[in-house]
Amino acid sequence: MATYDELRAAADKAWKAVEAPSRPLFIVSINTSSIASGALDTLARLQGLSLGDGFDVMQTGDTGFAWMEPVVQVVKPGGESILYGHVTASRAEAFAAAALKGVASEHVIGSVSGNVAGVPALADSEWMRIQTRWIMANCGVIDPDNIDHYIARGGYGVYMAASQTDAEELIKVITGSTLRGHSGSFFSTGTKWGFLRSAKAEPKYLVCNADEGDPGAWVNRVMMESDPHTILEGMLIGAYATGATYGWIYLRDEYPLAIERMNRAIQQCRERGIFGDDALGTGVRFDAEVVRGAGAYVCGDETGLLASVNDGRGMPKIKPPFPAQSGVLGMPTNVNNVETYASVTTLLRVTPETFSTAGTEANRGTKLFTVSGAVARTGCLEVPFGTKVNDLLAAAGGIAGGRAFKAIQQGGPLSGLLPAAIAGDLPLEPEPFRPLGAGMGGGGIVFLDDTACVVDMNVMTSIFLEDESCARCTTCRIGNQRMLEVIRRAARGEGDSTDVDRLTALGQTMQYSNCFHGSLSPTIINNTLKYFIDEFNVHANEHRCPAKVCPALIRYRVVNNSPKVAEAAPICPTQAIVQRDGAWQIDDVKCIRCNACRDVAPDDIVVEDEFQGVIPVRATVPADVARSG
Ligand code: SF4
Ligand code: SF4
């Protein structure tokens, strides 16, 4: 097997063709977001073009600019490099011709390197200037399927240096860095590694939790699709530090590209002697494989995940025993998530001293966040811990369409729903969220504008949580069912003044569930009752939806018999827009409240409260009666 120095020398040659190409190089971002925007067609189109003196084409992973996909970077001999967006296949030829000749102005995002007249520096853009890209250093830069690119940029050199350090000392460095689990648990990574190292039984195992299931979160997907070796190197460092000899990457089946790239990266490690009986000649034995998860949300709990790795049903277990005592195959096991393993490699690469210059005292370093929802720009950013939510929102271009910022739903359905007045000033680190009755979660932040209805959001999250309960505990299984029933009643105009007490009592009971799924399921409902009680009460007691969203509480009506309504009629999916006696009307029985007609005729079709003034407000039930109900 080649030595690390020999691998590095060969890798440097391969990387030179990217860093200093002899002719223009078009680098197309191929990731799940870009593929949804047609990037594979763009790639094929560019590869099939023959223009000027020719150019080369390669793929990269995810640049984080999801709203600009398909994204293409053009590197020219001499060092000039520009990032472009919205390069669809149909525009690829005109784009390539313009980019080869000078600058494809219509597509410019910013210059990556070199001063190009009229092209703003990417680093100065709103999106980039709040970012510190350490964990994402290779994202959108290297070809994730090319291990040489990774090695040429220092990859596996971090492991080589770490393996020269005493393992106990290495764990102390990780602990001292303040690195904690980026999945949302925020438990000290070094402490966890210490538990596994001190476990007596052998063999010991590592598991990488790649079961990213929070709606609105795709930070781990970005890493796996862009830089799989940074994750594998973190696992290899973990193996050296803890004495583990095998690893499993538990990866949800909904991420097929990540599965493909992680599997390819593992195979490359085996072929180059990085994985095997003697990792790069350091005497460490380690290998790993991908386990495809079926997408059960409760496998985010490490005991549920381990049950699934063990070929069982993904049901969380009561602890103890903890995974460090009994995990995969009953042996001592450590579980960290994708971003945590990547952060280990990162903090040792940038050095713990530099790592500690970013973030806060309690949480040094950086964290990935994905922003989505009502923002102008959707994508993935890496910012220092402690960055304010409002700064993230500004980077995302603010709330789209100039609407008001209403709330955030951060960290998935177990982490909470916070109003803009509180959320905006929150520093992004776990501690400030806890006194608010919420969590920060693993990195997904969904922004809501003033057209969103919190009760409607509760219906969606409650359906999800009830569906995802593994049903082991009565508190969680029945508690989630009852909560969903109450929320649905409120959204249908069938609630009453007893609902707040009923939901509060259910939330208190569910604290005693076995795992975090049950105990945290009431979080969004509790936040709603605390921060959005007026909006909830209008639904429950007055049977109205102020945001005009809850389908049972609104109806669509034609107010102007205009040609726009005639235009809207054919796009109605249920043919609910009908003509009677020469006038357009909406058949309320057929209307599914999809709002498509208002995209075409916003001034001629209105949304009205269904029940306002039609159904009398229910009588208030005395509190003692309510509690007994
Ligand atoms: S709390 Fe819910 S998800 Fe967790 S073990 Fe109990 S039933 Fe399963
Ligand atoms: S809201 Fe949707 S279903 Fe109802 S009338 Fe408009 S287009 Fe048709």
Burial label for 140, CB within 10 Å (0-12, 13-18, 19+), is buried
| Per-residue model confidence (pLDDT) at position 354 | 97
| Number of Cα atoms under 13 Å in the Cβ half of residue 518 | 26
Which residue CA neighbors atom 1 of ligand 1 most closely?
Answer: 518
Q: Is the shortest distance between the CB of 395 and ligand 2 below 6 Å?
A: no
CB atoms within 10 A of CB 511: 12
Number of H helices and E strands in the chain, helices first, is 27, 18
Instruction: Round to whole Å and give the CA distance between 403 and 320.
Output: 49
Q: How many CB atoms lie within 10 A of CB 424?
A: 16
3-class state of residue 182 by DSSP: coil
- Indicate the pLDDT class of residue 1, thresholds 50, 70 and 90: confident
Name the residue type at position 207.
V
Q: What is the pLDDT of residue 621?
A: 40
- DSSP H helical ranges for 334-403: 338-350, 352-355, 389-395
Query: What confidence score (pLDDT) does residue 626 get?
Result: 37
Q: What is the pLDDT of residue 611?
A: 60
How many angstroms separate the first and last alpha carbons of the chain?
73
Per-residue pLDDT tens over the stretch 236-272 = 999 999 999 999 999 999 999 999 999 999 999 999 9
Instruction: Kindly state the average pLDDT of the residues 129-149.
Output: 98
Nearest ligand 2 atom to alpha carbon 577: 5
Please report the pLDDT score of residue 295 as a whole number.
84
**What confidence tens digit (pLDDT) does each residue in 373-407 have?**
999 999 999 999 999 999 999 999 999 999 999 99
Query: pLDDT digits over 459-505, tens only?
Result: 999 999 999 999 999 999 999 999 999 999 999 999 999 999 999 99
300 Cα: distance to centroid of ligand 1 (angstroms): 12
What is the residue with the minimal CA distance to atom 4 of ligand 1? 515
Element (H, E) at 501: helix 499-510
Ligand 2 pocket residue status of 251, Cβ below 6 Å: no
Note the pLDDT tens digit of each residue in 283-305.
999 999 999 998 899 998 899 99
Measured in angstroms, how far is the CA atom of residue 522 from the centroid of ligand 1?
A: 13
Running DSSP on this structure, what letter comes out for residue 620? P
**9: Cβ below 6 Å to ligand 2?**
no
Q: Does the beta carbon of 548 lie inside 6 Å of ligand 2?
A: no
What is the phi-psi region of residue 368: left when phi exceeds 0, alpha when psi lies from -120 to 50, beta otherwise? beta
Q: Residue 617 — very low, low, confident or very high, per pLDDT cuts 50/70/90?
A: very low
What's the average model confidence in pLDDT over 28-45?
98
Confidence of residue 628 (pLDDT cuts 50, 70, 90): very low
Which residue out of 513, 519, 520, 523 has the highest number of ligand 1 atoms within 8 Å of its CB and is therefore the one to mutate? 513
Residues 6+ apart with CB under 8 A from 379: 64, 65, 66, 67, 68, 127, 370, 371, 396
pLDDT given at position 185: 86
Contact of 149 with 268, CB cutoff 8 Å = no
Query: Can you give 566-596 as a three-state secondary structure string?
Result: HHHHHHCCCCCEEEECCEEEECCCCCCCCCH
- Ligand 2 proximity of 593 Cβ (cutoff 6 Å): yes
What is the rounded distance in angstroms from the CA atom of residue 209 to the CA atom of residue 183? 8
Q: Is the pLDDT of residue 596 over 70?
A: yes
- Distance (Å, whole) CA 483 – CA 503: 6
Q: Residue 560 Cα, ligand 2 centroid: separation in angstroms?
A: 16
330 DSSP 8-state letter: G
| Percent residues over pLDDT 90 in the chain | 93
Cα of 330 to ligand 1 centre, how many Å? 21
Q: Record the tokens describing residue 344, joined without a space.
A: 């280990």
CA of 572 to the centre of ligand 2 (A): 5
- Give the ligand at the shortest distance from the Cα of 467: 1
- What letter does residue 372 receive in the DSSP assignment? E
- Residues with Cβ < 8 Å from 75, sequence gap 6 or more? 18, 21, 24, 25, 27, 81, 112
Instruction: Kindly report, residue by residue over 166-223, the tens digit of the pLDDT.
Output: 999 999 999 999 999 998 889 999 999 999 999 999 999 999 999 999 999 999 999 9
Q: What is the ipTM metric for this complex?
A: 0.95
At residue 615, does pLDDT exceed 80? no
- Residue whose Cα lies nearest atom 6 of ligand 1: it is 473
Q: Compute CA 254 distance to the chain's CA centroid, rounded to the nearest angstrom.
A: 13
Average model confidence (pLDDT) across the chain: 95
Helix or strand or coil: residue 468?
helix
Query: Helices 474-492 & 499-510, crossing angle to 10 degrees?
Result: 160
CA atoms within 13 A on the CB side of 207: 31
Residues lining ligand 1, Cβ inside 6 A: 298, 315-316, 469-473, 476-477, 513-515, 517-518
Average pLDDT for 332-358? 98
Question: What single-letter amino acid sits at 396?
Answer: A
pLDDT band at 619 (very low <50, low <70, confident <90, very high): very low
Residue 592, ligand 2, Cβ within 6 A: yes
Quick one: pLDDT at residue 318? 87
Mean pLDDT of 56-80: 97
Contact 22, 77 (CB under 8 A): yes
Q: Which domains does the chain have, with CATH numbers?
A: 15-125 (3.40.30.10), 155-354 (3.40.50.11540), 366-449 (3.10.20.600), 454-542 (1.20.1440.230), 551-609 (3.30.70.20)
Q: Grade residue 509 by pLDDT with cuts at 50, 70 and 90.
A: very high
- For 429, residues 6+ apart whose C-beta sits below 8 A from its C-beta are 359, 360, 362, 363, 385, 386, 440
The mean per-residue pLDDT over the stretch 413-441 comes to 97
